[in-house]
Structure 1
Amino acid sequence: MANSARQYREYQTTEKVKKVKVVKHRTSTFTPGEKLIAMLFVAFICFASLQIITAQAEIYSTNKDIQDLETTIVNQQTVNHDLSIQVSQMSTYERVWEKAKELGLTLDETNVKVVQQP
């Protein structure tokens, strides 16, 4: 009888083990609040990156415009300097006298007026 009792106990223990199902709940390592905070942080980083890139693009565009304007100013200054040299060459006394002779003007010393500079 000892053997049959032992078999019955073994049968009971194996049957109980089979009936009891262990339900494992998967728990995430992060809480929903932590997930929300992480998503907000990632969104903020993306937004800040976009703002920095936009600002750098505007700075680059502005610097390019400034360099173009500086080039235009240098070219205009060169043209102005050349024109001032031409004016000084064309306003010499000899050239004015030659043009006056070509147009048939004569120098009448009695009809000369002196203009003083202020």
Structure 2
Amino acid sequence: MAVERYNKNVLPDTGAAPEKKVETGAETKTKSHVVGLKRSETLVYLFLFILIATVSIYVLSLKMEAYDLQTQITQVESDIATKEGEISELNTEVTDLASYDRIYEKANELGLDQNNGNIKVAEKYGEN
């Protein structure tokens, strides 16, 4: 008996439901009491579970949408880089085709000759 009193004083309180002791003959058995949930508590837990699941699905759908948009942005940037390369090549070709030496060669091939006395300078309309 002294040991049982000592153990009761030394053991920490776990906060669980108190155990009922039933003495049958020479040995002591303990029964624990299981606490059930009320209907309102069950509904609250069910609502919280559904809310958490819904929010999780919504967040995942937003992340998937952001991933898709990022993929589209990358594709558009790639297309822009390709088009800029083509524009650069075309600008180089225009510069080459508009060079004075090339125009002079084409004029000579067509039988035209340069007459400096026949050159007139025209001003653009609206410029001083």
TM-score (ref. length: structure 1): 0.70
Cα distance, 1:108 vs structure 2: 1.8
Structure in which a larger fraction of residues adopt helix: 1
Task: For CA contacts below 8 A with separation 6 or more, give which structure has more relative contact order.
Answer: 2
Cα distance, 1:54 vs structure 2: 0.6
> SS of the residue aligned with 1:88?
helix
Task: Give the corresponding residue for 1:104.
Answer: 111
1:87 pairs with one of 90, 94, 97: 94
Q: Distance in 2 between matches of 1:115 and 1:100?
A: 21
> SS of the residue aligned with 1:113?
coil
* CA distances 1:61-104 after superposition (whole Å, capped 9, x unpaired): 10001000110111111111111111111111110011112223
Q: Any unmatched runs of 5+ in structure 1?
A: 1-26
Higher mean C-alpha deviation, range 107-116 or range 45-54: 107-116
Q: Any unmatched runs of 5+ in structure 2?
A: 1-33
Task: Give the corresponding residue for 2:74.
Answer: 67
How well do the aligned residues superpose, as a CA RMSD in angstroms? 1.9
Structure 1 residue ranges (4+ consecutive) displaced by more than 6 angstroms after TM superposition: none
Identity of aligned residues (%): 25
Task: Give the corresponding residue for 1:47.
Answer: 54
